[in-house]
């Protein structure tokens, strides 16, 4: 008699049967008690004592059909682990991924052109004439409002 599982013959003769059972026996006896105990402890984890066996979980789910539905919905919406990724959403399109993948060769320049700066009322370039005036200034004054008696050579720096 042959034993076939999913179309694959497991054994067809008494010798195949003996070899198959010996292989299972060898695998079972090669595992230490500590390994089995640790695997069971890891499986049970921090489950409450009333729900730390499969039988207890099955009884609880049968007695609480609403919890069963909630459990099934929660499991069906879990995030599948993808090799090389963390368990998070993939918010990047394929085009964005391609664009980002090329950034490994980006080298930040040591300096930038002044053309990159946009002048605003708070940020302005200093001309050569203004720079000269600053160098020749008799006094530099700071404050929220310009003090009286400022000379042409004085420099006033307005503070916010």
Residue scoring higher pLDDT (116 or 12):
116
Spatial contact of 143 and 155, defined as CB atoms under 8 Å apart:
no
Q: What is the pLDDT of residues 85-126, one digit of tens each?
A: 665 556 667 788 788 777 777 777 888 887 888 888 888 888
Q: What is the pLDDT of residues 15-36, one digit of tens each?
A: 666 777 777 777 777 778 888 7
| Cα distance between residue 37 and residue 35, in whole Å | 5
pTM: 0.23
HSE-up of 38 (CA within 13 Å, CB side)? 5
DSSP 99: H
Q: Strand 140-143 vs strand 155-158: parallel, antiparallel, or unpaired? A: parallel
- pLDDT at residue 10 in the model: 60
- pLDDT at residue 129 in the model: 87
- pLDDT at residue 16 in the model: 67
Q: Strand 155-158 vs strand 3-5: parallel, antiparallel, or unpaired? A: unpaired
Confidence of residue 81 (pLDDT cuts 50, 70, 90): low
Spatial contact of 28 and 35, defined as CB atoms under 8 Å apart:
no
Three-state SS for 48? Answer: coil
């Amino acid at each position: 008699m042959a034993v076939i599982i999913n179309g694959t013959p497991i054994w067809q003769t008494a010798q195949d049967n003996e070899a198959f059972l010996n292989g299972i026996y060898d695998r079972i006896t090669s595992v230490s008690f500590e390994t089995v105990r640790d695997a069971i402890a890891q499986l049970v984890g921090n489950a409450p004592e009333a729900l730390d066996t499969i039988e207890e979980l099955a009884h609880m789910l049968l007695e609480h059909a609403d919890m069963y539905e909630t459990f099934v919905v929660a499991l069906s919406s879990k995030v599948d682990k993808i090799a090389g990724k963390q368990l998070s959403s993939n918010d990047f399109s394929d085009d964005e991924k391609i664009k980002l993948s090329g950034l490994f060769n980006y080298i930040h320049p040591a300096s930038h052109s002044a053309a990159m700066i946009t002048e605003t009322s708070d940020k302005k370039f200093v001309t050569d004439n203004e720079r000269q005036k600053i160098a020749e200034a008799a006094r530099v004054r700071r404050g929220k409002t310009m003090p009286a008696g400022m000379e042409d050579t004085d420099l006033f720096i307005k503070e916010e």
